Amino acid sequence: MQPVSSQTVGRRRRSHEIVELLEKAITSGEFKVGSQLPSEKILAERFGVGRPSVREALFLLQQQGLVDVTSGSRARVTAPTSSFLIGQLTGFVKRVAATGQGQSQMEQARLLFEAGVAWQAAQVATDEDIARLKKALDANVAAVGNIGEFIRTDVAFHYELNVITQNPIFAAVYDVLVEWLIDQRTMTIYMPDADRFSVRDHTSIYEAVAAHDPMRAFHEMGSHLRLISQLYHESKRLSAEILRDIARDVAERMDREKQNMWSGSLPSAPSQPRGTRGQQTKVKKIKDA
């Protein structure tokens, strides 16, 4: 292990500064994957901070997948796994999709990504790849009318295109998007004939890939995703309108029932206030006197 030099950090955001310095030490090779970091005491002396700041920095590094912290032993340097990175990116996608512009941004990203995947698949597909894609298409066709199975086979068809490219980065990106895709697909699939339109588009995409026509595959995928996007937004709009109409109808019906109830309980003519008749008789006697 190389000698530990003194690297005093500032007082502001100490743990974050320690994270940055340790990241540099790891990427530079000072601390290699699989090796243990110095103890918390030595790291605290190195950076001129207290051990709580070091402990917090190690926790942050563990969240990034750079170290493994086990109680009773020193932190060990680790390499982020693909599943860890996918999990991190999946959380990011969820946060983006939940923002005001998130849905349209996700749709733009998916359009460019999947159209590009279709292009690449059409270029490199082998006879075996085309046979697997046809099998995925047939399963999707057979699932028409079965919502749960159709969504599963829909996702599987798109995933098979990523497999054909033999690019693990594409497959990883699709894994990140898949939960968002299922949510969007679940919303659109309830629209009449939405599954049949998807099968029609999937068939066109398959034919373009089987013909090794990248430009056509790119166009067919783009057209398909724009259709899904429009169906999604129309479904959301119609759902909101229907729920708004239902809420208004219920409120109006309750108002009518309340008005009928109160109008039916009121007497036809106002009754004379209690004690008024006696007062009128007394006045009359005074006048007669």
- What does the alpha-carbon distance between residue 121 and residue 106 come to, in Å, rounded to a whole number? 22
Q: In which band, very low, low, confident or very high, does the pLDDT at 172 lie, cut at 50, 70 and 90?
A: confident
- What does the alpha-carbon distance between residue 249 and residue 76 come to, in Å, rounded to a whole number? 63
What share of the chain has pLDDT > 90, as a percent? 31
Domain end position, chosen among 77, 104, 129: 77
89 lies in some domain = yes
Same domain, 98 and 228: yes
User: 80 or 260: whose pLDDT is higher?
Assistant: 260
Residue whose structure tokens are 């109830």: 261
DSSP for 100-145, please give it.
TTHHHHHHHHHHHHHHHHHHHHHHH--HHHHHHHHHHHHHHHHTTT
3 lies in some domain = no
Q: Give the domain range for residue 39.
A: 14-77
pLDDT reading at 2 higher than 60: no
The number of domains in the chain is 2
Domain end position, chosen among 77, 93, 123: 77
Same domain, 65 and 148: no
pLDDT per residue over 218-259, tens digit each?
Answer: 999 999 999 888 887 777 777 666 767 777 777 888 888 878
User: 13 or 121: whose pLDDT is higher?
Assistant: 121
Same domain, 228 and 175: yes
